[in-house]
Amino acid sequence: MINTVYQLVAPRRFEIKYSDIDLNNNKVIVRPTYLSICNADQRYYQGLRDAEILRKKLPMALIHEAIGEVVRDPSGNFKTGELVVMVPNTPVEEDDIIAENYLRSSKFRASGFDGFMQEYVEITPDRLVRLPQDIDRTVAAFTEIVSVSVHAIGRFDKIAHKRRNVVGIWGDGNLGYITAVFFKTMFPETKLYIFGVNPDKLQDFTFADATFTVEHIPEDVKIDHAFECVGGAGSGKAINQIIDYINPEGTISILGVSEYP
């Protein structure tokens, strides 16, 4: 079966690659229908990654957030036409202690091997999650980034001490907003403070108990725990600022992705 793969070969330049899908195995064939563009995809496309990283990873199909429809499943786990979300993490081993998304050996779509920007995706059944057929598909395309927030909040609930009077989230972008929505839903009694750089974006956090621009934080503000959702060059500054305002023995959950030490 001939497949069409849309690979980024250089910043701002895509080329079509044709590949062969082997139908003599138990992998599921999924046709991507809705894709979500991550900041990581934008950095590859705009050439903002380190030149050595680009040299090593390109050519490569982008996109690690996607849903699609099952075209073929010889394993019998899914029916043709079923709606699924594709899991980008692809582990190659199991560990009794380290979760699959933390294993250094795990591969990740659109970060070292082709992402979901393909006509068809060949994928193992355990990397698929069934979705309700009536779900809003434009919303479902964000399932992967939603899972990042929910996973972090779940870890927080297991690890952080029980004094949770005030929790702060640094970051006023998509990840910060999604994390804030879920946190306030799961912990409605906890005061939620949002720290960002864009006053217009901060106005969207209407459910938060308080919002602050990072340049104008009152000296008496203190938080029990924090989530860093900034990423990029600003993540280091955010973490340092969190340390300044967090109470002793608080938990800091670092969600932002950064290449900078």
**Tens digits of per-residue pLDDT, 93-147?**
999 999 998 999 999 999 989 999 999 999 999 999 999 999 999 999 999 999 9
Given a cut of 90, whether residue 16 has pLDDT beyond it is yes
CATH number, domain 148-254: 3.40.50.720
Residues forming CATH 3.90.180.10 domain(s) in the chain: 2-141
Peptide bond just before 59 cis, omega within 30 deg: yes
The pLDDT of residue 256 is 86
Residue 118 contacts by C-beta under 8 Å, 6 or more apart in sequence?
3, 4, 5, 6, 32, 61
Instruction: Report the distance separating Cα 64 and Cα 40, nearest Å.
Output: 9
Question: Is 10:45 a contact under the CB 8 Å cutoff?
Answer: no
Residue 261's pLDDT band, with cuts at 50, 70 and 90, is: low
Question: Which of 65, 52, 99 is closest to 175 using CA atoms?
Answer: 65
Residues forming CATH 3.40.50.720 domain(s) in the chain: 148-254
Question: Is 141:34 a contact under the CB 8 Å cutoff?
Answer: yes
DSSP assigned state of 223: B
Domain 2-141: what homologous superfamily?
Medium-chain alcohol dehydrogenases, catalytic domain (3.90.180.10)
**Tens digits of per-residue pLDDT, 223-257?**
999 999 998 888 999 999 999 999 999 999 999 87
**Tens digits of per-residue pLDDT, 69-84?**
999 999 999 999 999 9
